[in-house]
Chain A
Amino acid sequence: MATYSTNEFKGGLKIMIDGDPCSIIENEFVKPGKGQAFNRVKIRNLKTGRVIERTYKSGESVEGADVMDTNMQYLYTDGEFWHFMDPVSFEQHAADETAVGDAKKWLKEQDMCEVTLWNGSPLAITPPNFVMLTVAETDPGVRGDTSSGGGKPATLETGAVVRVPLFIDVGEVLKIDTRTGEYVGRAKD
């Protein structure tokens, strides 16, 4: 694997720290005029999601992490693993619960997702920013009520629970923003 000098540090660079793949969030060059230069970096551990700070002597080299973001189609889950397929090579990858994390409540079969691979294995799953999901369960809709405010919980086909307006009924397809977990609107077809 490639190594990177601190001179190549920038946001988004993937490096290995204490055996874990990490992504640089912020890189700050600090140096007393007549003294040692350092690179003070803020880093996200891609396995745990934790953000940590590290300092390097400027000019030091760090091992790169073989981390790649790829677009894959979500196929199905067998309860233990979530299976994804590269639409070009048809290669399949199985992600465990740790890798899938919170994404699992937004995963709908055949949707395209971003799969982060580390040394060829799924490390993290990022769902599409917007997903279309059918309402599986909610209190009966209140017709004519289009006022903002209020609202009620609705359980979607994937098991996710989101807050929706009162007029929404079972069977309707909703557009959800997965980054905030919020209802955006009814799917227009």
Chain B
Amino acid sequence: MQAGSDWQPTASNGALKLRATLLARIRAFFAQRNVLEVDTPALSVAGATDPALHSLRTETHGPVPAGGSSLYLQTSPEFPMKRLLAAGAGSIYQLCKVFRDGEAGRYHNPEFTLLEWYRTGYDHFDLMDEVEVLLREVLADVAPIASVDHWTYRDLFLEAAGVDPLTDSVAALEAALLCRGISPPAGLAADDRDAWLDLLLTHVVEPVMGQGLVFIRDYPASQAALARLRPGNPPVAARFEVYLDGVELANGFYELADAGEQRSRFERDNVRRERQGEAVVDVDERLLAAMTVGLPDCAGVALGVDRLVMAAGRYDHIADVIAFPAERA
């Protein structure tokens, strides 16, 4: 790169137009279905406790909160949107910027655009259907979807990696990696089963997922995040992920509505954070208060808009679809 040229956008005019087209189509899709567009704060006194997410923080000097405070930049608009649901807003969606520290690469930018929506009265199966309809409409003439596949997390791992992710030992997971020439990082703890599954997912499963739209559901209970659990042996999370052409595009839940269970999951996350030497995150008491009053039965999903633009325009790098990625912000 020439010195002094980094004021220029990394995305072409074509990519910017494609992004604008997709955003307009998304808004039209929800307007047609009477799903309300909402706008919630990006800054909050509470953050995401999820140990895999690292929040950015910023300082305020008051007067709100009085005397000033450190605020979290949202990693997703989930908590305030759920407060709107508890307040009776009905089905809602939002297009907004979210922030995740430490995430940068071909498919990551620390600041990115998320489409998040909630449907009251839906479970995750209903919502997976709607995700497919939305993607078909939005991508119709730009990058038509070639095929649609549905897998459970368990069946996909059995098929792609030859291991049972719910019952096999960590030693068996390690063997499946080693026989494919992948040596696990030295820092991967033997008792951190989910990290081993993530290693298999990113190194073995995702690369063979192929083209088209793939839905994965019934995640291990330990990866439920904010999804409710489905009884079974073993129980699984009512959570799904959407992959488009082998790239993770969206994550959805049949939303956990039990405030007590939600509080204990937040606390468990913070215990894990402490164990990993990470800062404990302030729990969102306003969300818990709203859930105590009552979150309506609903399903929600968050979809990465930048990756959607990448898929629509067959772009190779997230910088191709963002006017000014972090390196030029």
Contact = CB atoms under 8 A, between A and B. Distances in A.
B50 A55 contact: no
A33 interface: yes
Interface pairs A-B: 8 shortest CB-CB: A29-B105, A35-B198, A36-B198, A36-B195, A30-B202, A57-B187, A57-B185, A60-B187
Contacts, number: 75
13 contacts: A28-B106, A29-B105, A32-B198, A33-B248, A33-B251, A34-B52, A35-B195, A36-B52, A38-B198, A38-B203, A55-B183, A55-B199, A55-B203
Contacts of A32: 52, 198, 201-202, 241, 248
B25 interface: no
B223 A35 contact: yes
Nearest to B277: A59
A57 B108 CA distance: 16
A58 B186 CA distance: 12
Most chain A Cβ neighbours within 10 Å, of B182, B199, B203, B251: B199
A175 interface: no
Interface residues of A, number: 21
Contact of A31 (B108, B194, B251): B108
Nearest to B250: A33
Interface of B: 50, 52-53, 102-108, 181-188, 192, 194-195, 197-199, 201-203, 223, 225, 241, 248, 251, 304
B214 to A, nearest CB: 14
Contacts of B194: 35-36
A37 B106 CA distance: 13
A104 B108 CA distance: 44
Given A55-B185, A60-B186, 14 more contacts: A29-B108, A31-B52, A32-B52, A33-B241, A33-B304, A34-B223, A35-B198, A35-B201, A36-B198, A36-B199, A38-B185, A38-B203, A55-B203, A56-B187
Nearest to A61: B187
B251 A38 contact: no
A36 B50 CA distance: 11
Contacts of B304: 33
B52 A37 contact: yes
B202 A54 contact: no
B237 to A, nearest CB: 10
Contacts of A34: 50, 52-53, 223, 225, 251
B296 to A, nearest CB: 23
Contact of A29 (B104, B181, B223, B225): B104
Nearest to A55: B185
B202 A31 contact: yes
Interface in A5-28: 7, 28
Given A29-B105, A29-B106, A33-B251, A57 B202 contact: no
B247 to A, nearest CB: 11
Contacts of B50: 34
A60 B186 CA distance: 9
Interface in A53-70: 53-60
Given A33-B251, A34-B251, A35-B52, A40 B203 contact: yes
B113 to A, nearest CB: 14
A37 B187 contact: no
Contacts of B251: 33-34
